Amino acid sequence: MHTKKIALGMSGGVDSSLCATLLKEQGYDVTGVFLECWRAPGCRVEEDRKDALAVALKIGIPFQVLDFKKEYKEKVVEYFFAEYKVGRTPNPDVMCNRDIKFGMFYRWAMEHGFDAVATGHYARIKGESRSSRSPRLLRGVDAKKDQSYFLYLLEENQLSHIIFPIGHLRKTEVRDLAAQRHLPVANKPDSQGICFIGDINVHNFLKERLGEKPGEVVNMRGEVIGEHKGLWFYTIGQRHGFMLKGKIRAHHDEWKHVIQPFYVVAKDAKHNRLIVGFGEETLSNTFEILHMHWIHPEDEKRFAVGNTENILIRIRHGGELISAHLEKSDDTMIVTLAKKTQGIAEGQSAVVYDKEVCLGGGVIC
């Protein structure tokens, strides 16, 4: 009987380390693979590599390192800077998954005789069902850690060769299981922020590469109320430092003084203007999606005839799932949310779900 060969992406963290143990316990022939993608001051790549190797040695699986630094810089890091420079909000984790983890690493594994790749993502893959003859990408059981949002660019034919061993677990369970198995990284803190920055402040990282470019801060009426130091330092929906003093009706004829915070509503890259607002001004329920990708082509046909029942949209990682209506329009999808929300950022990903199934997504434009 053929023992399934698995190439497991190991980051040196608790998630992928537990994956290695679980896969081996289930009888798979597992090889741990550390993807070296970035090396710079403040980056923990060497410590992470050593942690991954320590786990591999403890559980007795082969271990190797793949060097993707050049490709990662071209595909992820340069994209990150380019998007910020033109006023958009990038999503480097989506690009990393598409081009590196399930691009170069996936192809390497297939070319070297592995049956599947595995990662520590909090997502699930469900097999054939009545409605589909191929596997489906599902949200992870742990709603707070769910990473299906970052995986919407996977292809249908890849799902049969991908395993997410901890997608059915919650983070607390992962740590408990790792501790029970005495894994050396059981209590290692989760990585924070953007994957390739490490401990470096994002503001400083952008400033080092893009510098500063002062411009006007204007309110929704076009009135200049201040100055910003560079559009790339701000995110749509972010609370801005400016405050508006005013009065609101408390009840009946009584009024009270309040101080309202401004939030970033839009970036006018052409005129280098940061547009801010407060209250209802910051909310919207319509936008368009560019480069819409359907994991299963059959779903695109379904939407072509207007069947958008049960559709949910997520516009940022960890954001609320909101009921929505989708409508095809030339090269874009027009999205109408069931309620207004804040922080619809050009350049970010809008991911489409049917209940717990991830159907695909695109880029907010």
- All domains of the chain, ordered by start, with CATH? 5-120+165-202 (3.40.50.620), 212-277 (2.30.30), 283-364 (2.40.30.10)
For β-strands 136-139 and 63-67, DSSP reports them as unpaired
CB atoms within 10 A of CB 300: 15
pTM of the predicted model as reported, rounded to 2 decimal places: 0.90
Return the amino acid letter for 337: L
What are the tens digits of pLDDT across the range 235-253? 998 886 655 544 444 455 5
Buried b / exposed e along 331-352 (16+ C-beta atoms within 10 A): ebbebebeeebebbbbbbbbbb
Contact (Cβ atoms closer than 8 angstroms) between residue 68 and residue 48: no
Which has the higher per-residue pLDDT, 308 or 88?
A: 88
Four-point Cα dihedral 316, 321, 324, 329, nearest 10 = 30
Q: How confident is the model at residue 288 (pLDDT cuts 50, 70, 90)?
A: very high
Q: What is the mean pLDDT of residues 302-311?
A: 69
**pLDDT tens-digit profile of 153-189?**
999 999 999 999 999 999 999 999 999 999 999 999 9
In this structure, the strands spanning 322-329 and 311-314 are: antiparallel
- Three-state DSSP at 193 gives coil
Q: CB of 237 within 8 A of CB of 343?
A: yes
Q: Give the DSSP per-residue string, 26-73.
A: TT-EEEEEEEE----TT--HHHHHHHHHHHHHHHT--EEEEE-HHHHI
For the record, the structure tokens of 142 come out as 């742990």
Comparing C-alpha atoms, which of 74, 83, 44 is closest to residue 195?
44
Quickly tell me which residue has 């992928």 as its tokens: 16
Backbone angles phi, psi at 83, to 5 degrees: -65, -45
Tokens of 314: 């997520």
Which DSSP string do the residues of 321-339 spell out, in sequence order?
PEEEEEEEETTEEEEEEEE
**For the residues of 80-139, what is the DSSP string, one character each?**
HHHHHHTT----HHHHIIIIIIIIIHHHHHHHTT-SEEE---SEEEE--BTTBSS-EEEE
Which H helix or E strand runs over 21? helix 14-25
Between 292 and 306, name the one with better pLDDT.
Answer: 292
Question: How far is 52 from 49, CA to CA, in rounded Å?
Answer: 5
Cβ-based burial of 82 (10 A; exposed 0-12, middle 13-18, buried ≥19): exposed
Report the relative pairing of strands 273-277 and 215-218 from DSSP bridges: parallel
What pLDDT does residue 338 have?
95
Length of the chain: 365
At 247 the pLDDT is 42
- In this prediction, residue 245 carries a pLDDT of 46
Q: What is the largest CA-CA distance in the chain?
A: 81
Catalytically active residues are: 96, 195
| The pLDDT of residue 48 is above 80 | yes
For a pLDDT cut of 90, what percent of the chain falls above it?
A: 73
Secondary structure of residue 361 in the 3-state scheme: strand
Query: Any residues with CB less than 8 A from the CB of 47 and at least 6 apart, and which?
Result: 12
Residue 43 scores a pLDDT above 80: no
By the 8 A CB rule, do 230 and 214 touch?
A: yes
